[in-house]
Structure 1
Amino acid sequence: MRVIEIEGGKGPAEALRLAERPQPTPGPGEIRIRIRAAGVNRPDIVQREGLYPPPPGASEILGLEAAGEVDAVGEGAARWVVGDRVCALLGGGGYADYAVVDARHALPIPDGLDFVQAAALPETAFTVFANIFEGGGLKAGETLLIHGATSGIGVMAIQMAKAAGARVIATSRGAAKAEAALALGADVSLDATSTDLTAAIKAEGGADVVLDMVGAAYAELNLNALKPGGRWVVIATLTGALAQIDLMRVMLKRVVLTGSTLRSRAPDEKARLAVAVEQIVWPWIASGMVQAKVEATFPLPDAAAAHQRLEAGAHVGKIVLTP
């Protein structure tokens, strides 16, 4: 099968190359997917740069989500049969023609979605559900503040929060992205390049939950933005991981600071999340309340160009490879 390997250098053009490897064989409790589309995510870039190694037992091939047909079924993976259309959360291996995955981490493709749309779902839907609704405890009627609102995660977070009955304040960089966030359903959309975010968020009454993908540079802003009893959820640190905050204000506001990663979670925990996502999020997708937003697609051999597009930061929604 064809795969994308990482070889030398850190830039996409130098590091990514097309290669051939044997097809993987599913073990007990696993299925093999013939990949028709695979999502491209920022952790792929960090892994390409040598800063995010795969967890023990995971494929070192890039790619954390994919969609396609079940091609082979291991012993005990009773839910699936060959030919089923699925999308799956992967520990790695999506940049290839075939991938093996724990059968519990696959979900049926919602009716009406093609493989490209389905490949844009698992990483974002699992991440948003685990962090906003479980870690952040977002409830109907509360306000969610999303930084990086036009990223793949941000686009999904806007839609899922609105489907759950929450109010959304979105921040992004540039007027075009601010308009895009409004079109996606945000109640308030702020251009971080031309707006005093602290003042604007305060004028909107603050936030009950902050979804933070920015990190250190927004630490003070987030503490100012949160209402008493607010929850600050960190899922990425694009401006650095070390921040100085006033712990007395954390105490006085009763702020909960939390965060998580998805890839390193235990298989049983990912399986538990898959059940919850299928029960709660998949009906939102089936009804059209939540949609897979794909900004661009690239053939598998052009994975370097896909990385360049993602790193440029001008995209709105997901970027997908099509093997």
Structure 2
Amino acid sequence: MHAIVIDKPGGPEALSWQQVPDPRPGPGEVLIDVAASAVNRADVMQRQGRYDPPPGASPYPGLECSGVVAEAGPDVEGFRPGDRVCALLSGGGYAEKVAVPWQQVMRVPDGVDLVEAAALPEVACTVWSNVFMTARLRRGETLLVHGGASGIGTLAVQLAKAFGSRVAVTAGTDEKIARCLELGADEGVNYREEDFSERIQADVILDIIGGKYLPANVRALRTGGRLVVIGMQGGSKGELNLGALLAKRASVHGTTLRARPVDEKGAIVRGVVENVWPLVDAGVIRPVIHARVPMSEAAEAHRLIETGEHVGKILLVG
């Protein structure tokens, strides 16, 4: 098969389309003929040499894919060749084939074509696990999403609104804020022009920025609020005012998804299938796709995501 290989960390030019050995499904694994993958910030970090795959994972980038089951290994439950699926991966999505534990595989929702389905696994699992499983967002509460126009952000806006919450977002342009409002957000702040903590008070904050936003995030939390940090685009260190945190009886959670054990990922996937997929089937939630790029031209897709001009997901089509 062919896959995107990183021979040496660097810029987008470090990504090359090469012939590599075919993967084989082990016990409990499904082999997928990949129709599409999607670009995530974690892929950019891996390309730069700042985010190695977990032990045992594919060395090729790509944390999600869609496609058709080609083969099911021993001890696989519920999937057989020919099934249209999408999957949460620990790596290997930028390839023509990938082997993945069956617990991380989901059937493609009705009303979503096979290629578009590649835009769903990583963002759906990230939002469901962090906003609902960890932070336990409730109906009527306010969710603040940083990076509201990102793949994660566009899904978080739609899902939180579907569950009856109020949603605020931050974004870097008025155009991006307008797109978030079209998706259902109630309020948006252009972070280049305004301190979000001076206007927004939230029960739950989903944060991809990290250290740079920590003080303002604590200021923006309501009493009993929950801050969930899932990224460090603004650095890994920030000043935490413990007095303010205690006074608000608030909490800070830091989570990652990629390196979790299969059983934990499987529990998240089951939650997504049970709670998110029916909303996708009904058309209440839809994947937001900015561009489709041939997988062999992944370098161009990485250049595009690094401009920060996209809204939603960038797909790599096989």
Distance 2:216 2:8 in 1: 39
SS of 1:115 mapped into structure 2: coil
Residue 258 (structure 1) aligns with = 253
Per-residue CA deviations over 1:122-172 (Å, capped at 9, x if unaligned) read 000000011000111101100001111001111111011011110001110
- Matches for 1:246-285 after TM superposition, within 5 Å: 246-285=241-280
- Matches for 1:46-65 after TM superposition, within 5 Å: 46-65=45-64
Q: 1:298 aligns with which of 286, 290, 293?
A: 293
Contact 2:166-2:186 within 8 A present in 1 as well: yes
5+ residue gaps in structure 2? none
Shift of 1:195: 2.5
Distance 1:246 1:76 in 2: 50
Distance 1:259 1:156 in 2: 20
- The verdict on how the C-alpha distance between 1:38 and 1:28 changes in structure 2, with shifts beyond 3 A counting, is same
Corresponding pairs, count: 318
Alignment of 1:159 with 2:143, yes or no, is: no
Shift of 1:120: 0.4
Contact 2:212-2:237 within 8 A present in 1 as well: no
TM-score (norm 1): 0.97
Q: Identity rate of aligned residues, in percent? A: 45
Contact 1:131-1:259 within 8 A present in 2 as well: no
Shift of 1:221: 1.2
5+ residue gaps in structure 1? none
User: Structure 1: which amino acid aligns with 2:174?
Assistant: A
Contact 2:111-2:283 within 8 A present in 1 as well: no
- Matches for 1:21-100 after TM superposition, within 5 Å: 21-100=20-99
Residue 116 (structure 2) aligns with = 117
SS of 2:4 mapped into structure 1: strand
User: Structure 2: which amino acid aligns with 1:154?
Assistant: G
- Matches for 1:235-250 after TM superposition, within 5 Å: 235-250=230-245
- Matches for 1:147-186 after TM superposition, within 5 Å: 147-186=146-185
Shift of 1:174: 0.9
Distance 2:158 2:59 in 1: 32
User: Structure 1: which amino acid aligns with 2:96?
Assistant: D
Shift of 1:312: 0.7
Shift of 1:116: 2.1
Runs of 4+ aligned residues of structure 1 deviating over 4 Å after TM superposition are: none
Alignment of 1:321 with 2:316, yes or no, is: yes
Shift of 1:255: 0.8
- The verdict on how the C-alpha distance between 1:9 and 1:79 changes in structure 2, with shifts beyond 3 A counting, is closer
Residue 11 (structure 2) aligns with = 11
Shift of 1:9: 4.6
SS of 1:311 mapped into structure 2: helix
